[in-house]
Chains A and B, each alone.
Chain A
Amino acid sequence: MKLKGSQILLECLKKEKVKAVFGYPGGSVLDIYHALFEHSIKHVLVRHEQAAVHAADGYARATGEVGVCLVTSGPGATNTVTGIATAYMDSIPLVILTGQVPTALIGNDAFQEADIVGITRPCTKHNYLVKNIAELPRVMREAFYIARSGRPGPVLIDLPKDIINQTAEFSYPEEVSIRSYRPTVKGNPRQIQRALDEFMKAAKPVIYAGGGVVLSNASAELHALARRLSIPVTTTLMGLGCFPGTDPLCLGMLGMHGTYRANMAVTHCDLLIAIGARFDDRVTGDLRSFAPEAKIIHFDIDPTSISKNIKVDIPVVGDCREILKDCLAAIGKKKVAPRDRKSWLGEIAKWKAGHTMAYKQGKAIKPQFVVEKIYELTRGDCIVSTEVGQNQMWAAQYFQFDRPRRWLTSGGLGTMGYGFPAALGAQVAFPGATVVDIAGDGSIQMNIQELATVVQYNLPVKIAILNNRCLGMVRQWQQLFYGKRYSHSTFEHHPDFVKLAEAYGAVGLRATRPDEVEPVIRKALAVKKPVIIDFVVEQEECVYPMVPAGAPISNMMLL
């Protein structure tokens, strides 16, 4: 069957079972949009290309599928860069299709030309410039395969306008084989056995689980292993939900804003089992005093993550789920009993009781209270995205995630403006779900234009702005470490967020007193429309516990 390049592209998307594309048209992709006009694939017209990528990213995190976006050359392509870098840092599978000027003009500083392949080389897992129409199906097949396999990540395909206009025979390759890319899936059995021996020997083990557990869909296996061996589990920011937050073995998050018990447990454990985590500096603090008494086991699909920051004693390279399955199978057969954990779990319980996350509610609304109320009133049954800053940390601390893929946050890059478009993408995937973006008044203004998109497509995303009239996290650092010189971190002017929502055709609500919080959330959850809730919260509130950057994680400033 002979097809035009633009049609081939869409057929490839169909073959990959792509249900939604987030995009924005322009000169170089007009032919693709021409073909899209009568095609069955759903296209969501965002209002900024950065949001297209974040939306595809939110879609991917919530579903586990590859997120797809489509933008034009030049400024369309460069607008995607922050979104791509965000997905790259968090290992989110995306395929980004960018238009490009015709091949004959490439390199000539043509109108709307940008070397997007060059620009995105360091922030994509791989990228392609298609120079021959015959390659297009293979490139598409490879791109989806690379994006979702191994350690997932974004893959960009640059499509020159003339190539998209050529015709060629279409057949989609069944198999994909890249001689230089064969990720290790199965863990080495001998290494797994060595790890198991340590599991049994340890008196004070802790599992430190990260985003890799979510990405490899290994939550059930992780839960089974932790239960079977009574090993407490702390998760990273990216790992929230991969182990039930309400499970008695759950220690909560570790690191800079982690719980007291998680940081203490890691500091005093004799065995640390890192699963799909990468010893990020926000987790470890001072490396020399991170798990200083522990043997370290590390399960990860990416060999570069192993011994990058911390020397690992027993590395196991492979897919976390496969490794955990093999561990469970080996334990199941042996009928082994792990060591008695009573005293270790008792020690942890004492840490927990000694330092709760309680805060005092005064006259002003406490931001933590808002997050707790959202949790309570949704019964935790919702998808939560966040912006970046204090809002993100409070959401992580005060919402309990019992299931994976319900938590969308920019962990690695820390991109303000991520949460709202990510929520939009998740809502496209799950139209019936409750999707809440927990936002800051600074961050929300970085992609506020997407209000038009959610109204147009009737995506009832709820935006809860924890409005402290400042860049809270910046203000917090200035308060604690810069002698309270609040240099350019306070907003002297804000739009009226309620009127702003209304101007876009969404619903605007506001709460200024603690007793207004609950009714306003109930109202927002009841309407089947996008809602902004402007929670006017206490300005000076800080996120605690806090470990100063670079300090040992046991060195916590507590509430």
Chain B
Amino acid sequence: MRHTISVLVDNKPGVLARIAGLFSGRGFNIESLSVNETLDPTMSQMTIVTRGDDRVLEQINKQLNKLIDVIKVIDYEKGDENHIERELALIKVAVTDKCRAEVLSIIEIFRCKVIDVGKAHYTVEVTGDENKLNAIIELLRPLGIREIVRSGRVTLQREARVP
């Protein structure tokens, strides 16, 4: 099972090493990770995508909570699905006269942007959830992707909807 876990930590040197060390030392896996300062500069928010069976995921949650620098742990898959998640990818696609139109139409459909144009390539910026990123990558792949970089995931709890 794959879980997205958000970890609120003290914004101090060495905290990332503690979290990374916890995962490597106990044989847990990190599929993706993002870290950033929060509104309150004394805290950082980490979003970790991890995988394991129920027992492992329970341990991950508890072990994270046990670290002295960890303020709060939210496992988004545990409660209701009330959260939003986004990832970002930059994709460098080779373009030739033959496929230029097709590339542009894919970009159009996915509502993403071309942020750099070269003689024979476009660099495309796409944000969305993981499925959307995977979908556009699959469509562009046959046209010739030269490079991809993807960010870690970021998540935010949804506010209660106005009735």
Tell me the A residues contacting B by CB distance below 8 Å: 117-118, 121-122, 125-126, 129, 146, 178-181, 302-304, 307-308
Contacts and interface: CB of A to CB of B under 8 A. Distances in A.
Given A117-B14, A122-B21, A122-B25, A304 B63 contact: yes
Interface residues of B, number: 20
Task: Output the residue of B17, B21, B22, B62 with the most chain A CB within 10 A.
Answer: B62
A181 B136 CA distance: 44
A303 B55 CA distance: 13
A178 to B, nearest CB: 7
A180 B21 CA distance: 19
A329 to B, nearest CB: 28
Interface of B: 9-10, 13-14, 17-18, 21-22, 25, 55, 58-59, 62-63, 65-66, 68-71
A121 B71 contact: no
Contacts of B70: 180
Contacts of A181: 68
A49 B17 CA distance: 26
B10 A308 contact: no
Contacts of B62: 303-304
Contact of A118 (B17, B59, B65): B17
A303 B68 contact: no
A308 to B, nearest CB: 6
Nearest to B10: A180
B73 to A, nearest CB: 10
A121 B65 contact: no
Given A118-B17, A121-B18, A304 B59 contact: yes
Contacts of A129: 13-14
Contacts of A122: 21-22, 25
Given A307-B55, A308-B59, A146 B68 contact: yes
A537 B135 CA distance: 73
B58 A307 contact: yes
Contacts of B65: 303
Per CB-CB distance, the 7 closest pairs between chain A and chain B, nearest first, are A180-B71, A304-B62, A126-B68, A303-B62, A122-B25, A181-B68, A121-B21
Nearest to B62: A304
24 contacts: A117-B14, A118-B14, A121-B14, A121-B17, A121-B18, A121-B21, A122-B21, A122-B22, A125-B68, A126-B68, A129-B13, A180-B10, A180-B68, A180-B70, A180-B71, A181-B68, A303-B62, A303-B65, A304-B59, A304-B62, A304-B63, A304-B66, A308-B55, A308-B59
Contacts of A178: 68
Given A118-B17, A122-B21, A302 B68 contact: no
A303 B66 contact: yes
B91 to A, nearest CB: 37
Contacts of A308: 55, 59
User: Which of A117, A121, A126, A146 is most buried by chain B, counting CB atoms within 10 A of its CB?
Assistant: A121
Given A180-B69, A304-B59, A304-B66, 9 more contacts: A117-B14, A118-B14, A121-B21, A122-B21, A179-B71, A180-B9, A180-B10, A303-B66, A304-B63
Contacts of A118: 14, 17
Identify which of A118, A178, A180, A303 gathers the most chain B CB atoms within 10 Å of its CB: A180
A60 to B, nearest CB: 19
Which of B14, B68, B71 gathers most chain A CB within 10 Å?
B68
A302 B63 CA distance: 10
A287 B96 CA distance: 62
A304 B59 CA distance: 6
A147 to B, nearest CB: 11
Contacts of B69: 180
